[in-house]
Structure 1
Amino acid sequence: MPGTAKAPEALREAGLFARFSEVGGIDAGTVLAGRYLDNADPVHHRVRNQAALTDHARRLADRVEAILDENRVPLVIGGDCSILLGSGLALRRRGRFGLVHADGHTDFRHPGNSDACASVAGEDLAAAVGLHWPDISDIDSHGPYFRPADVAHVGCRDDDEHLGEADSILGALVTASDITSNMGAALGLITDVVTTTELDGYWLHVDVDILDPRFMPAVDSPDTGGLDPQQFVELLASLAPRASGAQVTVFDPDLDPDGRYAASLTEMLVSGLGALGRARGQHLRRG
């Protein structure tokens, strides 16, 4: 979406890139999005901006793979949640990976449960596990990008429209209230899914609307009942070290005119993702 497309440069200005460079990060450049077209056509199975979106997914996949080929750990700064198609495509080309989908919404709308499909940003998880139209969920015949059983969703609210369906299909589903009530148990459910010997690693998707809008209102679909900054950082810091890579999505600088939320998000991401991938060789569980 146009507002979130500005997030990488807003976070760069807030110091995010510089902070990661101080701990060894290397700026791998920009995968530029094409011109946005609000041209959804559900009747003919086309989502908004589909041509540019799928083109970007292929180019992002190439960039992610190039980084992985160098035994480095990608951190992709989006953009909206549709970038999961590119990251998922890259990983599927290489093998079988798990996914931790940390998001304030399940993003599980798909043609089988809704007549309103049009925006991949609200449908990315369904697409990633193969439930969307093939042009989205099966790019270059590589779908599904993640097997449903290899996916753990964390962070949706208890009243999420598609909570029940997602819970019945995915390997694990942990709500924001589950995190609040028992972080340790929630992390156990997540890691049991994505750290098995059958997987080549796992990807960490982070939509910042997992945060409560009291702390992060600069998102397109804020919902009460989210995490506070301490919980958010603890969640990321627990999952990041063994991840094969991560992405950050849905921060909208248009809703942050004085930059205060870019600054606070930078601090949270540096704290939560500072050890990204450092223990990835330990991702396999025994037994």
Structure 2
Amino acid sequence: MENLQISVIGVPIDFGQMRRGVDMGPSAIRYAGAIERLEAIGHTVKDEGDIYVSNAAQLEVHPKLRNLGAVVEACTQLSNRVKETVEQKKFPLILGGDHSIAIGTLAGLAHHYKNLGVIWYDAHADMNTAETSPSGNIHGMPLAVAMGMGHEKLTNIGGSGAKIKPENLVIIGARSVDEGEKALIKEKGIKVYSMHEIDRLGMTAVMKDALEYLASRNVDGVHLSLDLDGLDPLHTPGVGTPVPGGITYRESHLAMEMLQESGVLTSAEFVEVNPVLDTKNSTANVAVELMGSLLGESLV
């Protein structure tokens, strides 16, 4: 692949959920050698550092949205940084942090891509709102927010309204979906490849179909949002909401390689690495290895 100008942006936030420690995810991924690995492929990589995340206790409290103020503040900053990165014609690579940060990433990308395709590699659909969420955790809401549904302080980040179209979204690896999310998936006709489809069809067929689907939508860019809990917890133990029966390590490398070979990828984020719950930084190591496959690493 072409050599990219990559800007790495860390978002050390764990306020989108309840288990502390995922705010150390960006540091764990850097420690696992992310920058060096991408440079070895031939890319020019600039580590832009981390955005500042305020103490949630000092910000707005909402009865149904956990740490709303802190998430809004962090995602607003991230939206601005992503917008600036794309303006500079650089490839944004975002390191989380919990998955609430995708609200900011997608808001920033929406300034430049009017028909953005999104591949959501995750055990969860992340389409809850305050009304449907069993927990009030905002890391389970970013796709709903990006489609324009939810609290206005979230949907107005980076500008009012929806940032992505439901028909331009593909979810891969889903196996833990709440009832409200199921209803929304059906209502919006969202493309979902659950573990049933992956087991039945194989990852090659799933990725081929997903990429052909996005191409048929004439998307003007493709963003990958990869939650490490999309993989089976045997491979990625250091995540806050592990769900057994997930995508394998080898299937994930194949998916990343096929996405790289397609030449359509314009941005990516890797989220939910929690070193407090991890074993010898193995989850961060997997994240870095998948980044390598996604961004052109080869054996020959």
Provide TM-score, normalisation by structure 1: 0.85
> Please, which of 8, 11, 20 is the counterpart of residue 38 of structure 2?
20
Tell me the CA shift for residue 40 of structure 1: 4.6
Tell me the CA shift for residue 71 of structure 1: 2.2
Gaps of 5+ in 2: 1-13, 15-19
Tell me the CA shift for residue 224 of structure 1: 0.8
3-state DSSP of counterpart to 2:145: helix
Residue 42 of structure 1 corresponds to: 63
Residue 259 of structure 1 corresponds to: 281
> Please, which of 23, 48, 58 is the counterpart of residue 29 of structure 1?
48
Q: After superposition, give the CA deviation of every residue in 1:143-195 in whole Å (9 maximum; x if it has no partner).
A: 21111111111111176543353244144111123123222332244224422
> For 1:33 and 1:177, how far apart are their aligned partners in 2?
40
Structure with the higher strand share, 1 or 2? 2
Tell me the CA shift for residue 242 of structure 1: 1.4
Query: Contact (CA 8 Å) 1:149, 1:193: kept in 2 or not?
Result: no
| Structure 1, 141-150 or 187-196: larger mean CA deviation | 187-196
Tell me the CA shift for residue 262 of structure 1: 2.6
Q: After superposition, give the CA deviation of every residue in 1:81-109 in whole Å (9 maximum; x if it has no partner).
A: 11111111112122321211111111121
Query: Contact (CA 8 Å) 2:147, 2:165: kept in 1 or not?
Result: yes
Residue 250 of structure 1 corresponds to: 272
Provide TM-score, normalisation by structure 2: 0.82
> For 1:158 and 1:177, how far apart are their aligned partners in 2?
12
Q: Count matched residues.
A: 271
Query: Contact (CA 8 Å) 2:61, 2:69: kept in 1 or not?
Result: no
Within the alignment, does 1:74 sit opposite 2:92 as a pair?
Answer: yes
3-state DSSP of counterpart to 1:216: coil
3-state DSSP of counterpart to 2:91: coil
Tell me the CA shift for residue 239 of structure 1: 2.0
**Structural mapping, 1:30-179, within 5 Å:** 30-37=49-56, 40-42=61-63, 47-96=65-114, 97-114=116-133, 116=134, 118-157=136-175, 161=179, 162-179=181-198
Residue type at the aligned position of 1:42: P
| Structure 1, 33-42 or 196-205: larger mean CA deviation | 33-42
Pick closer, same or farther for the CA change 1:140–1:266 going to 2, 3 Å. Answer: closer
